[in-house]
Structure 1
Amino acid sequence: MQLQYPELLWGLLLLILPILVHLLRLRRYRKTPFTNVKVLQRIFSESNRSSQLKKWLLLLARLGLISALVISFCKPFITSDNTDNKKDIVVYLDNSFSMQARWKNSNLLEHSAQEILQNFPEDFRFSFLTQSESFTQVRTKELQQKLLNLEFSPATLTAEEIQLRSSALFSSPDSTERELWVFSDFTGWKPQAWEEWNGARVKALPIEAETRQNISIDSAFLERSGTETLDLIVLLTSDADMERSAVSLYNREVLIAKTGVEQGAGGDLEAQFTIPADTELAGTLQVSDSDLFYDNTLYVSLSKPGKIRVLSIGAAPADYLSRIFTSDTFTFLQSSLRELDYSILEQQHLIILNELETLPTSLSSPVLDFVEQGGSLIVIPSENTQISSYNQFLNGFGSGLEQRSDSDNLITSINFEHPVFQDVFEKQIQNFEYPKARIHYGLQGAFQQIIGFQDGSPFLAGRDGIYLFAAPLSGVNSNFRKSPLIVPTLYSIGRGSLPRADLYFQIGQKAVVDLEISLQEDEILKLQTPGYDFIPLQQSFSRKTRLYFGPEPAVSGNYEIDYRGDTLQYVSFNYPRLESIQASTPSVVPSTFETYSDASSLIAEYQNTTRVTLLWKWFVILAVLFLMAEMILQKTMR
């Protein structure tokens, strides 16, 4: 037997009181003479023996009463043989989006939460873990409101993350027996990641959705269908019949289009909307589905594109540049070095140093400031370039020019993986009419090759918005200007100097948005959507402001970029579609897990192995019995 409060045993000192009372309570007898002394002597002796027995029995009853009461207050108990080591429990409740799947009249998450509330004792102590939150050593009754109001989380934890976070919640003593109880549908779980883990004994309560049929809007992208229109292509996946399904497009709250789902050339399900090219859109794409409803919506946004300002500095002919940087997308200016207005440099998005023989400090210094402020730069050397002058400028970017070579060199390789050519070519071109350069310079530094010569040296290299050609582009030195490759190359560089914001971004991934606005010192931009707003990390340049996204936002939707109470444009964020991709795959519980059909069987096993029998009630009953014995002795014995 063990005592919960052994310090109360000091109460046994109260046993001294009945003993003292017994010793001090001596009765005095007065002698009275009688004629028949023999008879009186016999009666006296019998009466005295009966009184002594009563006193001893009363003493024992009182000692027993006090002892039983003191021990009952010490909370005595006995434990089973399996409770030598205390169990340390961590309960992991999966609240990912896949738990939205239907189960009877609720969903998987609500059912799992009710299992915990209905079967766990109110004073049951454990640590609690979800996708986004954790609680150390709490009782069931303390988590009641949290479980009733638990929301779905876009986060998807890997096996390593679950193991690491649960290990942090376990108590530190090694003698403690650790158990991880998992409530999940086990969608996307990788059993092999749990085979080597010995951090805890894992007990699983898998729950199966009634149906795994799901319709999901996977992604959307734009295609130009004409000079005045854009095609918005929406890709979907479905385990159900999509013949009667339709995708709706809303601009804010107004339904502007609705179309059916068709099978594309590649076998994918897709829907197509044609919209004006200059549309300003805070769009919501929706499809009806009763299972995983989070992936039935995709938020997209379009802003009216501003014109990109391009400045060419140099005496070399620039008519081919004006034909590439057309007025519908760009504002193109050309100036010689002698006539250059330096005040307009900071207003540009892209500057082209077009075959200058030398780069004077008066030019290189403001251009360097321009690049540091986020501007883009193209450097095209001339036939008679002063290499030392160029290298003094280019060394600040970790690059430079080497000696000139006068031998012909074919331009034969294209780095299709470079961001300049992203989404430019439908397929990688292996055979085309190779342009060539009559003279060219070697390029130094760690710039990434974009276009290369036949001998493996770079013809065009770039990094972080700075692009360096190895040869002049004038007609007598190279026929690259007549190659079809020059148009997508320079056009893509120009568009990239102020890229149009993506249709949407994925929550949790890093993203950057450039805005055509310059902020004052104390000004900030704020993003807001109904019920949620935040201030993103932002960097202000002389010509633009750059917004950085990562941990925030945490909620999907179309966000207004607010500046002084006005909306500059919209930007959209969506939850990852990983749960949708995994929803149709069979769930697999790792073989190392012990599985249970419901929480009642799990908690029953736990209570059987950690059973504690409380004895204080029995000692209270024993005290009552001693009290009754004393009363009976007082009434019946003389």
Structure 2
Amino acid sequence: MKFADPLFLLALLLVIVPILIHFIQFKRYKTVYFSQVAFLKTLMNESKKRNNLKQLIILLCRISAVTFIVLAFARPYIPLNQQARLQDEVVVGIYLDNSFSMNGLSDKGTLLDKAKLEAIELANSFSPGTKFVILTNDPDPVSRLSLTKDQLISEIGKVKSSASNMEISRAVATLKTQIESSNAKTTSNIYLLSDFQKNFSDFGEIKPDSTSQVFVIPFAQQSTDNLLIDTCWLETPGRLQEQTELLKVRITNQSAKAYNNIPLKFYLNDSLKALQAVSLKAQETIETEVSYQNLKQGIHYCRLELDDYPITYDNAFYFSYKVESEVRALEISDENSEAVKWIEKLFSDDEQVKLSTMTSNKLQLGRFSAFQCIYLIDLKELSEGLQNALVKFAEAGGSIIMFPGETADIDNYNVLLRRLNVATYGSIQDSPLKIDGLNLQNHLFRDVFTRDYERVNLPSLYKSYPMQLPFQSLGSKVLTNNDGSTALYEFPYKLGRVYQFSFPLTSESTDFFRNALFVPVIFNVALHSYFPQTIQYELQPNTVINLKTDATFAVPESITMKQHEGNFSIQIPLAAGTTESIRFSTSDFVNEAGFYDLIGNDTVFGALAFNYSSRESDMNFYSLDELKAIASKSNFQLAQPETNAIGQYDLDSLNVIELWKYFIILAILFLLAELLVIRFWK
């Protein structure tokens, strides 16, 4: 016989307690002399002997009860072979990968079906009384519970394929935490059942732990062929009614074979708008284009589809956006500015751009969020309030177009320009210049020229400000002069843009407003002014959504997110935001790709499109040889389901006879014997 916890045998010293009690309670007799005591003396001697025997039996029962209780806690066992030993209480952690990649085929159906069968066999290989913790990619409260074998098998049967995924190191760390919380004094075996996709198999991040053993059980894909839509994007930033969209689509072939004439379908608001055939070589990525037109304003639901089997979860790609009927522009100038009439005349009859005007002494800063672009025309100075409002406007995604005043306070201007991290102005110069360079790659000149622009008469500058770029500038030149200086810069700032001209828009400074270049530049700046729309989101936990609003939008107290075609609906409280945006988190409740409408104040004011993670579509898995090489350098063991090795992990526990239950029974019997002696021995 051996003991699993031999140090507990020190508690045998507790047998002193009943011995001390026995001697303390032992009665001392006083001798009393009588004349005739022969009969009484005989009777007393017999009674004394019987009482001493009773007390001795009670003492032995107590000593035996204490002894057997201590021996039971020392966990005695009889080994059936030399290697067998009784371990501490074992809690088994099982990670069952139920990500989409486990939908691949195996000889027993999908890999997930096969993994579920192996997990059940694994559970049956352990001795009765073993506790289990199961973890899947889903955020499930069951993963925080300690389960019996029957409960575990029941939970395994409920596991379904999920869009969620998890790194291997995170799965091991989570299981260790749950095992430790279930019982502080335990050893743990952790089993990882997965196809071990390289994107999520970060074995190097698993921290060594002497109290646990990690077993890796791989499931190999029969085929890793997969054709998927990587992503898509729209060529132009703004979304306007009657605008022709050019959609770029990136498609990847992860197979070792070629695909020919695979149909690519494009649906707009559930109506098929385009159908084209795509062909890809093995391991090739291509980009193709889809052209269509936004015929109406409002929310547009767009879907791209490919036909591919057996990996089907990434065959559809969703995106959505909101089409505006017009661009709202604002022109700010001093009173009696001659340039105002040129700007107003340009946009007076245009249906795509709606122009509003303000003078510098009658600004309504709170209305700025209602516009997409602001023209600053020949202002002498910029007040502190105006500067703050412009910075905030650009940060949110608006466009600022700046023509400095002919008598502008340059120091005042440069305060704002430094805050926007754009070029600063020097002193005005009256040297005649000629614009002779156009950056035709800039979006302002797309589809503007049908012939060589060198044959076009370009504007002249009579007065201009030299511009000096900041140390780390992201600006790009749009118009350049014949002396190498720049007449127009375009700068990104946060979500917005700044278009900075070097000259005032006056007849004394330039003939730009009379030139043919005036219309496409000023008009296209407005058309390309937009507040960014995120057309699609990747399914991830706690995705934060930040939606731009304008001054006309009444921010609701809460938002209802409803599946566009489905029954899912949930109310979302708003997070901290600003009056120009609403911000909220999707938490962990969005787990299916598709469209979700945003409802506030009983109105659908937006829509979100969610797609499954592209990382899950990467069909690169660790081979068996690669896993063996990693295992040789790491602290985990490799097991193969095909070798039936799973049922061999708990042999140590099966090759011993545990005796603690018998010692507990003996302790109870001696305690009962003590009670019977005290009750019935008179």
TM-score of the superposition, structure 2-length normalised? 0.64
Deviation sequence 1:513-571 (CA, Å, 0-9, x none): 324574547633332113243527467766x5444556564432111121222222432
Q: Aligned pair in 2 of structure 1 residues 264, 317: CA closer, same or farther (>3 Å)?
A: farther
Distance 1:478 1:129 in 2: 71
Q: Aligned pair in 2 of structure 1 residues 323, 538: CA closer, same or farther (>3 Å)?
A: farther
Distance 2:231 2:445 in 1: 19
Distance 1:82 1:496 in 2: 76
Tell me if 1:385 matches 2:408: yes
Tell me if 1:220 matches 2:243: no
Aligned ranges for residues 533-552 of structure 1 at < 5 Å?
A: 533-535=570-572, 537=574, 545-547=581-583, 551=587
Structure 1 residue 309: Cα displacement: 1.1
3-state DSSP of counterpart to 2:323 = coil
Pairing partner for 2:152 from 140, 143, 150: 143
Aligned ranges for residues 376-525 of structure 1 at < 5 Å?
A: 376-390=399-413, 401=424, 403-404=426-427, 406=429, 439-442=464-467, 448-451=473-476, 459-464=489-494, 465=496, 467=498, 469=500, 471-474=502-505, 477=509, 491=524, 495-499=528-532, 501-508=533-540, 512-516=546-550, 518-520=552-554, 523-525=557-559
Deviation sequence 1:322-381 (CA, Å, 0-9, x none): 758993432123455468777865643322221211235686677678678875544332
Tell me if 1:181 matches 2:191: yes
Distance 1:166 1:415 in 2: 58
Tell me if 1:259 matches 2:269: no
Provide the residue aligned with 1:575 in structure 2: 612
Aligned ranges for residues 254-293 of structure 1 at < 5 Å?
A: 254=270, 256=272, 259-263=275-279, 268=286, 272=290, 274-278=292-296, 280-293=299-312
Tell me if 1:301 matches 2:324: no
Residue 589 of structure 1 aligns with an amino acid whose one-letter code is L
Structure 1 residue 237: Cα displacement: 3.5
Residue 146 of structure 1 aligns with an amino acid whose one-letter code is E
Aligned ranges for residues 115-264 of structure 1 at < 5 Å?
A: 115-120=118-123, 121=126, 123-133=129-139, 134-135=143-144, 138-158=147-167, 161-162=170-171, 164-165=173-174, 168-169=177-178, 171=180, 179-188=189-198, 194=204, 198-199=208-209, 201-222=213-234, 229-232=244-247, 234-238=249-253, 239=255, 242-243=259-260, 245-250=262-267, 254=270, 256=272, 259-263=275-279
Structure 1 residue 99: Cα displacement: 0.9
3-state DSSP of counterpart to 1:292 = coil
Q: Aligned pair in 2 of structure 1 residues 123, 283: CA closer, same or farther (>3 Å)?
A: farther
Provide the residue aligned with 1:358 in structure 2: 381
Structure 1 residue 503: Cα displacement: 3.6
Distance 2:393 2:293 in 1: 36
Structure 1 residue 288: Cα displacement: 3.8
Name which of structure 1's ranges 297-306 and 571-580 shifts more when overlaid on structure 2.
Answer: 297-306
Contact 2:137 2:166 in 1 (8 A): yes
Residue 352 of structure 1 aligns with an amino acid whose one-letter code is Y
Provide the residue aligned with 2:630 in structure 1: 592
Structure 1 residue 572: Cα displacement: 1.1
Name which of structure 1's ranges 336-345 and 278-287 shifts more when overlaid on structure 2.
Answer: 336-345
Distance 1:189 1:371 in 2: 38
3-state DSSP of counterpart to 1:578 = helix
Q: Aligned pair in 2 of structure 1 residues 182, 436: CA closer, same or farther (>3 Å)?
A: farther
Contact 1:98 1:580 in 2 (8 A): yes
Contact 1:399 1:444 in 2 (8 A): yes
Aligned ranges for residues 615-630 of structure 1 at < 5 Å?
A: 615-616=658-659
Contact 2:241 2:296 in 1 (8 A): no
Deviation sequence 1:432-487 (CA, Å, 0-9, x none): 98999763255687885323586899945452336362622537657888697995
Contact 1:191 1:590 in 2 (8 A): no
Deviation sequence 1:65-99 (CA, Å, 0-9, x none): x99xx799888523564647657754332222211
Distance 1:176 1:619 in 2: 23
Deviation sequence 1:226-266 (CA, Å, 0-9, x none): 965445554434446755743445566x5535734223899
Deviation sequence 1:203-237 (CA, Å, 0-9, x none): 22111123222332333344589965445554434
Provide the residue aligned with 1:607 in structure 2: 650
Residue 339 of structure 2 aligns with an amino acid whose one-letter code is P
Structure 1 portions without partners, runs of 5+ = 15-58, 624-638
RMSD: 5.5
Q: Aligned pairs, how many?
A: 562
3-state DSSP of counterpart to 2:598 = strand
Name which of structure 1's ranges 315-324 and 567-576 shifts more when overlaid on structure 2.
Answer: 315-324
Contact 1:242 1:261 in 2 (8 A): no
Provide the residue aligned with 1:78 in structure 2: 78
Q: Aligned pair in 2 of structure 1 residues 510, 215: CA closer, same or farther (>3 Å)?
A: same
Pairing partner for 1:327 from 350, 356, 359: 350
Residue 493 of structure 2 aligns with an amino acid whose one-letter code is R
Tell me if 1:2 matches 2:27: no
3-state DSSP of counterpart to 2:607 = strand
Deviation sequence 1:18-40 (CA, Å, 0-9, x none): xxxxxxxxxxxxxxxxxxxxxxx
